[in-house]
Amino acid sequence: MTFRHLRAGIALILLVPAVVVGAGTGASRAATASSPPPGRIGIKLLEIPSSQAGNTRDEEYIVANPAPGTVVTRKFEVLNQGSTTAQVSVYPAAAAISGGTFQFASGHTQNEMTTWVSISHSTLTLAARSDAVLTATITVPGNAPAGEQYGVIWAQVSARGTGNVQLVSRVGIRIYLSIGTGGAAASDFTVGTPAASRTSAGVPVARVPVHNTGGTAVDVQGTLQLSDGPGGVSAGPFRAQQTDTLAPGQSYADTFVLPAKLPDGRWQATFTMTSGLIKKTEAVTLSFNGATVTATAAHEPFPVALVAGAIAVLLILVIIALLITRSRRNRGNRGTRGTRGTRGTRGTRRPTHA
């Protein structure tokens, strides 16, 4: 009987985790229509201040520090890189900086600054592999508040997909506008103490905090070079996962995901962090241990299915233990009753004569 209870309990142990896990792994399928993408277009800034020549950030984005009541102009180029004629819409839209990224508002959403922006042509008809030069004009009001504002100039093409699906492709140029008098605010950032870890999958990760200590936004691009590792080997350079964009006063960690086969041990790590003409270097010793460390545990979802399965297994083990104990007790009781009957029989005596 004990074996029968134990066998039933084992079957339940195998079944319950399967039910718990199965309940948490259901997948939904969405039907998708295959449609040709809209035409390929590009956009490029053509005009930068002579004082910012060689500044890669100013060569890529519209970066300006106008005083209230002044006008900023920039020439840019829109290119049709496709093989058919493209109808291109050009317009400004809002943006913001949060979580270490330059975040674009949806669609044609505006903010205060983008209402000051006008484009020389809002629509273009571009033949295949042709381009057009446009001018963006930012007219800053005399009562404009001091401080930074952000936006983007989009070049967009649209196409009708299957059914009612509208396909949109757009490329843009960021706008960083720092309004104030007395010249451009100083840009600067600091680099904190780097840290190394391995994810739960054993992938080595290095993170270095960056803090914007200047008066304008920064776009920090990071590279990591490893040297003097186990056996004297070197590795890299590695680029950070993304360019960290920080408004004044903001902080974020630049993250480097390294090859999983990187040997355990101590490495000499050199971080080079660049934003425009600003460059910072940080050299430290990092150790990637064999033990896996989950660096993002605080952001991982609580493992409900796993905990529920463990609780179910524990309950079943308790039930099995109770069944075994009850079975042993019942056998013991039967044995005790049989012994008493024998003792009663032994007590019968034959009559004796004096």
pLDDT at 48: 82
Which residues make Cβ contacts (< 8 Å) with residue 222, sequence separation at least 6?
208, 210, 239, 240, 244, 254, 256, 271, 272, 273, 274
Parallel, antiparallel, or unpaired: how do β-strands 147-160 and 117-119 relate? unpaired
The CATH number fitting domain 189-294, selected from 2.60.40.10, 1.10.3080.10, 2.160.10.10, 3.30.160.150: 2.60.40.10
Cα-Cα-Cα-Cα dihedral sign, residues 113, 119, 123, 128: negative
pLDDT at 54: 76
CA distance 118 to 6: 79
Cα-Cα-Cα-Cα dihedral sign, residues 289, 292, 293, 296: positive
Cα-Cα-Cα-Cα dihedral sign, residues 347, 351, 352, 354: positive
Mean pLDDT of the chain: 79
The CATH number fitting domain 41-179, selected from 3.40.50.300, 3.40.50.2300, 3.30.420.40, 2.60.40.10: 2.60.40.10
CA distance 204 to 255: 11
The reply to whether domains 41-179 and 189-294 share a CATH topology is: yes
pLDDT-above-90 percentage for the chain: 56
Q: Is 215 helix (H, G, I), strand (E, B) or coil?
A: coil
pLDDT at 290: 54
pLDDT at 37: 52
Q: pLDDT tens digit string along 288-338?
A: 875 433 333 333 444 545 555 666 667 777 677 777 776 666 665 555 444
CA dist 158 → 38, 76, 167, 180, 308 (Å) = 6, 21, 6, 38, 48
pLDDT-above-70 percentage for the chain: 73
Closest Cα to residue 243, out of 213, 266, 273, 270? 273
Name the residue ranges covered by the structural domains of the chain. 41-179, 189-294
